[in-house]
């Protein structure tokens, strides 16, 4: 199949392109930074420079590529640091999720592209009440805190427009598998446990996220899938484990009021209010099995100094298990 991957040069795109090619697909991969053309070419894709916010350029690029499927993996999250002004930090990503998605869907319609897959994020999408682990049928957050209003609205826009156009939304867990910002913050003890640290995170290794995306191409129909690992976990559970693996000091603990004062309301939500996702539907309907069923073994394989060659056994049962 000819596949148009938007954001082929990013964290997920660079894992996805080789997996698509290994499955026999032909990939036209976009990049935004001129420097990343070489990266996309070396992955085996045909590189195309594209600004997703340029509607006409999007239409022309899709028409020229003549793809059978479009995969939207564009975000602008490099150097994301300022959680205090959450919506401002996500402003460009929000545009890629709203205007960018709309431009791609319009181009897909015009060029007769029937398969469309787009990236979303599980943990900040779901309603922050009820159980700790959500399925795709659970309601999305209709009352985000003011600091996150635009970001949650952009994710909802993407989710709703893509599904109503007959496409597939992949609600990924928190990516790991790279030297990313999270790891650096934990190493420097800049990522504290807020309050009781009960906010739940679902993680996913980048290779596993890419594998689920490849399988989604064969799914007939539209819908949303949580692409997350088997073990959603509270911050108070996963953060000390990651810190220890990185050889960092244990995370600090800060009360909610102090986190709100220093890092803003979004930091309190991420530390105490988020929910995890169940991957039962993705396993059942996409036939997907994550290579790293738990962040415990995935973190160990990625970050621990004495990385095991085979997945490590689980030290104890998770507090927040999806099953």
Residues at the interface with ligand NAP (CB under 6 A): 6-11, 13, 30-33, 36, 50-53, 74-78, 96, 121, 172, 174-175, 178, 180-181
Alpha carbons 165 and 221: distance in angstroms, whole number: 10
Q: How crowded is residue 181: how many other Cβ atoms within 10 Å of its Cβ?
A: 15
Q: H or E stretch including 31?
A: strand 26-31
Could you tell me the smallest distance in angstroms from the CB atom of residue 52 to ligand NAP?
Answer: 3
Q: Least distance (Å) from ligand NAP to the CB of residue 7?
A: 3
- Measured from the CB of residue 166, what is the shortest distance to ligand NAP in angstroms? 23
CA distance 318 to 323: 11
Question: Quick one: which of 181, 197, 198 has its CA closest to 254?
Answer: 197
Q: CB of 74: closest distance to ligand NAP in angstroms? A: 4
Exposed / middle / buried, residue 92 (Cβ in 10 Å: 0-12, 13-18, 19+): middle
Other beta carbons less than 10 A from residue 35's beta carbon: 9
Position closest to ligand NAP via CB: 10
Interatomic CA distance for residues 195 and 198, integer angstroms: 8
Give the whole-angstrom CA distance, residue 137 versus residue 131. 13
CB nearer ligand NAP, residue 53 or residue 258: 53
CB closer to ligand NAP out of 6 and 193? 6
Burial of 316 (0-12, 13-18, 19+ CB in 10 A): exposed
Nearer to ligand NAP, 90 or 217 (CB): 90
Residue 135 beta carbon to ligand NAP: minimum distance, rounded to whole angstroms = 18
Strand partners, 224: 169
CB closer to ligand NAP out of 36 and 260: 36
- Residue placing its CB nearer to ligand NAP in the complex, 51 or 256: 51
Contact between 73 and 227 under an 8 Å Cβ cutoff? The reply is: no
Q: How far is the CB of 261 from ligand NAP (least distance, A)?
A: 26
Shorter beta-carbon distance to ligand NAP: residue 30 or 320: 30
């Amino acid at each position: 199949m000819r596949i148009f991957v938007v954001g082929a040069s990013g964290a997920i795109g660079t894992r996805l392109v080789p997996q698509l090619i290994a499955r026999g697909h032909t990939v036209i991969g976009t990049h935004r930074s001129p420097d990343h053309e070489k990266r996309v070419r070396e992955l085996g894709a045909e590189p195309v420079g594209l600004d997703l916010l340029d509607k006409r350029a999007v239409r022309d690029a899709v028409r020229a590529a003549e793809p059978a499927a479009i995969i939207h993996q564009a975000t602008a999250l490099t150097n994301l640091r300022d959680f205090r002004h959450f919506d401002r930090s996500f402003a460009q990503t929000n545009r890629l999720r709203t205007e960018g998605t709309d431009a791609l869907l319009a181009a897909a319609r015009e060029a007769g592209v029937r398969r469309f897959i787009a990236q979303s994020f599980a943990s900040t999408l779901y309603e922050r009440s009820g159980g700790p682990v959500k399925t795709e049928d659970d309601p999305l957050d209709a009352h985000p805190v003011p600091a996150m209003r635009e970001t949650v609205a952009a994710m909802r826009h993407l989710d709703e427009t893509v599904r109503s156009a007959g496409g597939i939304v992949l609600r990924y867990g928190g990516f790991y598998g790279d030297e990313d910002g999270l790891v650096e913050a934990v190493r420097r003890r800049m990522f504290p446990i807020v309050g009781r640290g009960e906010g739940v995170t679902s993680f996913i290794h980048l290779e596993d996220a890419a594998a689920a995306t490849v399988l989604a191409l064969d799914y007939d129909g539209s819908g949303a899938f949580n692409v997350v690992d088997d073990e959603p976990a509270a911050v108070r559970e996963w953060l000390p484990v990651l810190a220890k693996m990185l050889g960092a000091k244990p995370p600090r603990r800060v009360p909610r009021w102090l986190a709100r004062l220093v890092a803003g309301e979004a930091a309190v939500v991420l530390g105490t209010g988020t929910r995890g996702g169940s991957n039962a539907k993705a396993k059942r309907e996409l036939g997907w099995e994550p290579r790293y069923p738990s962040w415990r073994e995935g973190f160990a394989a990625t970050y621990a100094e004495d990385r095991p060659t085979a997945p490590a056994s689980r030290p104890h049962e998770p507090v927040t298990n999806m099953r």
